[in-house]
Amino acid sequence: MYQTDHPQPAKESLPTMYGLWQGTYQGIERLWLRWYDANGNRIPTPVEQESQKAEGLAAKLRELGIDPNQI
């Protein structure tokens, strides 16, 4: 996955921009129009946000000596 274009401001009053991103979304590989924050970071979709939360929780459990695959 990689960004293929420099994000462009969506509107002067909004701290978001849009840009092109090459990657897979919902099983489809192609060039996508994605939202970026004011620092140029891609804003995750709701599914990506949930995945990030799950990964963070699994990492925390591992830190505590708990195997997340065993619960």
Q: What is the pLDDT of residues 24-53, one digit of tens each?
A: 988 999 999 999 998 889 999 999 999 999
pTM: 0.63
Residue 1: its pLDDT value, please?
45
> To which H or E segment does residue 59 belong?
helix 46-63
Residue 54, pLDDT > 80, answer yes
Residue 15, pLDDT > 80, answer no
Domain map (residue ranges) of the chain: 2-66
The Cα–Cα gap between 19 and 4 comes to 8
Residue 5: its pLDDT value, please?
59
